[in-house]
Chains A and B, each alone.
Chain A
Amino acid sequence: QQRLVFIATMTCTTFQCIQLLALLSVCKAQVFTLAPLPYAYNALEPTIDTETMQLHHDKHHAAYLTTLNAAMATMSQNESAKYLTNLTAENLVRRISEVPSGVYTSVRNGGGGFVNHNLFWNCMTPGGSALNLSCEFTINYQIFLQMHSQQSFTMRAAPLGSRILSQWTSLEAFKKDFNDSATKVFGSGWAWLVADSANAFRLSVMSTPNQDSPWMQAGLVPLLALDVWEHAYYLKYRNVRATYVTAWWGVVNWTGVEQRYALALGSPTLPTVAPNLITRSSGADRPRPALALLLLAAAAAAAMGP
């Protein structure tokens, strides 16, 4: 019986402890953590050297996070600013105008640095992944039915690739624009490909100083980011930023950029292949919606049965 009492007492105390801890965690500010790189430190060699990846992630990115978390702790003590500590890091940076003046610089620099580098690692992948530029598109049956039932609809084949081609005529012309922007940043900063949600998701290339970002401008959706702070390239490329910028395209994760764009457009993740519903373009890559529709209609009719 004594043992039972002892156990009962300990259980109650433990339960109270758990309640207290739960309360504390609700009152405590969210603490952001540094995600590991999505690949090994040497995975982007020879384009980006291992030592740079180590320093860049473990030191620079980590330091921005420390600054951000300190700002979070300060804001959590502030009754009128506490709500900001429940936002995601990106949303906090988006809503930087609401941040108290005492932590504004920390959120701008540390929070900005944190989210920019989160995106940057995901903009790269070992060996790079290609951008889908052809008007070959894939569609699954459900989406076809949805589209077929409407009077008119927009074919969203390779939405990012086709948008880049329509705005820049060629991928090379786009890259040249982007490279110019990246090399012209004076001092520290970033080059970006963004979509403007307030303007039909029109794409544009822009640059920002230090750790500022398109998140800080209403409506802009960052799709692709390139760090041109000297720490991003100096060990390998020294003063020759242009060589770094050109070489970087070899590790760009276009698949991730496409997914980011698709998400922004509001469409679900690009649908998977249904081989009999794929049309292939021949010769010059020009969309041929009429032919595609015919093929799809035929396939759908066959699939629907009598």
Chain B
Amino acid sequence: ALRGRHHQEHPRTQMAHALPSLTYDYAALEPFVDATTMNIHHTKHHQAYINNLNTALDKHSELKSLSLEELNIKVTTLPEDVRTAIRNNGGGHWNHTMFWKWMAPVGSVNHAPIGSLKAAIDKDFGSFDVLKEKFNAAAAARFGSGWAWLGVKEDGSLGITSTPNQDNPMMDGVADVKMTPILGLDVWEHAYYLKYQNRRADYLASWWNIVNFDTVVELYDAQAKK
């Protein structure tokens, strides 16, 4: 029976990637991230990565059975004619899908680590303040476009790194430091320029007010189980 536009005729083929909805309004992160930026960032930049990713996957339909995460991890093994496009746009899609979940309106979630994540942060960095300092340093030092990351390294400890453009630490053979990201911050200028202009440091300082540590804790705990 037909069940509307989401009815799949070929179960093995995954549906094209689509823009995930935010769980909050564009204005909900004000005054730390402005509404216009959230709107353009979501509907234009993220959408463009998705469109370009779908176009690349159309050239190699066998890749459509891979999850977005797998596409990122295995990016260096992908066919050469789509490798860069998938690295840039598959990376962009994953990074931004997570980014929206790593933020939440003030007061709606924990904005500081709790539980086993807090213990891990205290152990690996000394304190949450030191973590923020090091994370901000990595974010400030990323020259050009890129992301700063907090992640779980292969030995289970926490690490901080940054990557250029739309790379991320999951990408085998690409990232300097291989980690499973549990928190990421977009430092492309489009993420902050309308409100902060050249003052990336101000953006970094503000951003911590809206970090959704419930998501971070969830990701950490899931990783700790593995």
Contacts and interface: CB of A to CB of B under 8 A. Distances in A.
A160 to B, nearest CB: 31
A210 B188 CA distance: 12
Contacts of B166: 186-187
A230 B40 contact: no
Contacts of A60: 198
Interface in B1-52: 40, 44-45, 48
Given A187-B144, A210-B143, A239-B40, A63 B198 contact: yes
Query: Quick one: which of A55, A209, A230, A231 has the most chain B CB within 10 A?
Result: A230
B200 to A, nearest CB: 10
Contacts of A188: 144-145, 189
Interface string B141-177: 0011110000000000000000011100000000000
Interface residues of B, number: 19
A187 B147 CA distance: 11
A239 B48 contact: yes
A230 B197 contact: no
A235 B193 contact: yes
A55 B190 contact: no
Interface string B113-155: 0000000000000000000000000000001111000000000
B88 interface: yes
Contacts of A235: 193-194, 197
A235 B190 CA distance: 9
**What's the interface size class on A, roughly?**
20 to 34
A186 B88 contact: yes
A238 interface: yes
Interface in A181-225: 186-189, 209-211
A234 B190 contact: yes
A60 B197 CA distance: 10
Interface in A278-299: none
A137 B165 CA distance: 47
A12 B45 CA distance: 69
Nearest to A240: B44
Contacts of A189: 144
Interface string B180-197: 000000001110011001
B189 A231 contact: yes
Interface of A: 55, 59-60, 63, 105, 109, 186-189, 209-211, 229-231, 234-235, 238-239
26 contacts: A60-B198, A63-B198, A105-B143, A109-B143, A186-B88, A186-B165, A187-B144, A187-B165, A187-B166, A187-B188, A188-B189, A209-B144, A210-B144, A211-B143, A211-B144, A230-B188, A230-B190, A231-B193, A231-B197, A231-B198, A234-B189, A234-B190, A234-B193, A234-B194, A235-B193, A238-B190
Given A230-B193, A239-B190, 12 more contacts: A59-B197, A59-B198, A105-B143, A109-B143, A187-B145, A187-B188, A210-B143, A211-B143, A229-B144, A230-B189, A231-B197, A238-B190
